[in-house]
Amino acid sequence: MTAAASSNTGLEALYRQMRRIRTFEERVGELFVRGESAGSMLHLSIGEESPAVGVCTAMKDGDTFTTHHRGHGIFLARGADPNRMMAEIAGKETGYCRGKGGSMHIADMGLGHLGANAIVGGGVPAVVGAALVAKRRNSGAVSVAFFGDGAMQQGVIYESMNMAALWGLPAVFVCINNQWGMGTRIDQATRATALHERAKAFGLAAETVDGRDVREVHAAAARILDGARAGSPGFLAVDCYRFFGHARKDKSPYRTPEEEDEGRARDPIAFARAALIEGGMAEGAIGAIDDEVAREMDASIDFAIASAAPAMDTMFRDVYAPGEPEPEPLRTRIDRILARD
């Protein structure tokens, strides 16, 4: 276990990051209820904070990553500004992608985020490419693909893992196994539920870790990332539970209350909190963290709502590189054609 996770101080930092994610996601839900989000396709990662924080704290500056559509938490754990994230989710010009991408397409090249993705498995092979470049240029960087258990049934995952192993690339595949791909439980999607065994078959270093204790996740991630940095790519499955429905309008009627109670009892934040108290931290001190985080995330909603929608002429920007001609707007075209008479 690394120093970051071995002490109560280390755990406090991990707790704070997990709390930031949960509170942010709660505020995303609030943004939707207030009618200020761009649409309802908001996939919250509540219950899945430990894979985000445990893995991201084992990453280094310069490492790159891609995420799935449920990626808010991962990006926050890699240093995202909640204001710009919330603004993107609201479809505002101050967002990370100028209001064009939204919740499922947040990206920031400055922080190594090569993009969230709305195609299941769609972002995984890019990590192989990024790792290929890291190896070729000797940059020392690792590239990490984050995806859900649902993506484990997409063929592109296996093409990607095979090439990463074949070429000894600094790539890591992190499967956040929240047990549910939309309304399909993992054992309804596959008989091979020991997901890391599949990665082993390609020659990757592979483990499954219980996501309840973020310190365990961090330790496993550090092992896998260290190996990858040395040219031995790896795979980490983190077992956790998707506390709520697939997207905002899904009340998950396909799950029993008993199952949900059991899943939510595996709360990594409650677990970390209990461990902090056991380690001597006062409840009031934890409450102070929670309050501080709540203020930070409240401010993100205010920022998003106060921000402007993108200007209409930005519609034609960034289809191609700056300086290249932009597509001709339809109305301009109609004017040109009909003016000929």
Partner 1 sequence: MTETLTYRDAIRRALADAMRADPDVFVIGEEVGRYGGAYAVTTGLLEEFGPERMIDTPISEQGIVGTAVGAAMAGMRPVAELMYVDFIGVSMDQLCNQAAKIRYMFGGQIGVPMVLRTQGGTGRSAGAQHSQSLEAYVMHMPGLRLAMPATVADAYHLLRQSLRQPDPVVFIEHKSLYAHAEEVDLSAPVPDWGRAAIRRQGRDLVIVTYSRQVLYALEAAETLAAEGIEATVIDLRTLNPLDFATIGAEVERTGRAMVVSEGPLTAGVAAELAARISEECFDYLENPVLRIAGEDVPISVSTALETASVPGPELIADAARRLVA
Q: Are 111 and 84 in contact (CB under 8 A)?
A: no
Verify binding: residue 337, partner 1, rule CB under 8 A. yes
Verify binding: residue 3, partner 1, rule CB under 8 A. no
Q: Which residue has the tokens 């310069």?
A: 62
- From the list 14-22, 92-100, 213-221, 281-289, the region that binds partner 1 by CB under 8 A is 92-100
- # of chain residues touching partner 1 (CB under 8 A): 51
Contact positions with partner 1 (CB under 8 A) in 5-44: 38-41
What angle, rounded to 10 degrees, do the helices at 214-229 and 8-33 form?
100
In the structure encoding, which two tokens stand for residue 281, read together? 């931290």
Which contiguous run of DSSP H or E holds residue 66? strand 64-66
Among 109, 101, 193, 113, residue whose Cα is nearest residue 153: 193
Query: What is the DSSP pairing of strand 64-66 with strand 180-181?
Result: unpaired
Verify binding: residue 71, partner 1, rule CB under 8 A. no
Q: How many CA atoms lie within 13 A of 187 on its CB side?
A: 0
One of 51, 71, 99, 125 touching partner 1 (CB under 8 A): 99
- From the list 9-17, 85-93, 130-138, 194-202, the region that binds partner 1 by CB under 8 A is 85-93
Verify binding: residue 314, partner 1, rule CB under 8 A. yes
181 versus 234: smaller Cβ distance to partner 1: 181
Verify binding: residue 162, partner 1, rule CB under 8 A. no
Contact positions with partner 1 (CB under 8 A) in 251-280: 254
Q: Rounded to an integer, what distance in angstroms lies between the CA atom of residue 290 and that of residue 326?
A: 47
One of 151, 169, 172, 175 touching partner 1 (CB under 8 A): 151
CA distances from 57 to 98, 151, 300 (A): 27, 24, 23
- From the list 55-63, 146-154, 161-169, 171-179, the region that binds partner 1 by CB under 8 A is 146-154
Among 190, 191, 159, residue whose Cα is nearest residue 173: 159
One of 118, 133, 275, 294 touching partner 1 (CB under 8 A): 118
Contact positions with partner 1 (CB under 8 A) in 193-252: none
Closest approach, Cβ 291 to partner 1, in A, equals 32
Closest approach, Cβ 236 to partner 1, in A, equals 20
Closest approach, Cβ 150 to partner 1, in A, equals 5
One of 166, 274, 306, 319 touching partner 1 (CB under 8 A): 319
Verify binding: residue 125, partner 1, rule CB under 8 A. no
Neighbours of 12 (CB within 10 A): 17
Would you list the DSSP string of 15-52? HHHHHHHHHHHHHHHHHHHTT-SSSS-----TT-HHHH
Gap between the terminal Cα atoms of the chain: 77
Verify binding: residue 192, partner 1, rule CB under 8 A. no
CA distances from 300 to 39, 69, 81, 94 (A): 18, 20, 9, 11
One of 44, 114, 120, 301 touching partner 1 (CB under 8 A): 120
Contact positions with partner 1 (CB under 8 A) in 171-190: 181-184, 188-190
| Site residues (vs partner 1, CB under 8 A) | 38-41, 88, 91-92, 99-105, 117-122, 150-151, 153-156, 181-184, 188-190, 254, 309-310, 312, 314-316, 319, 327-331, 334, 337-338, 340-341
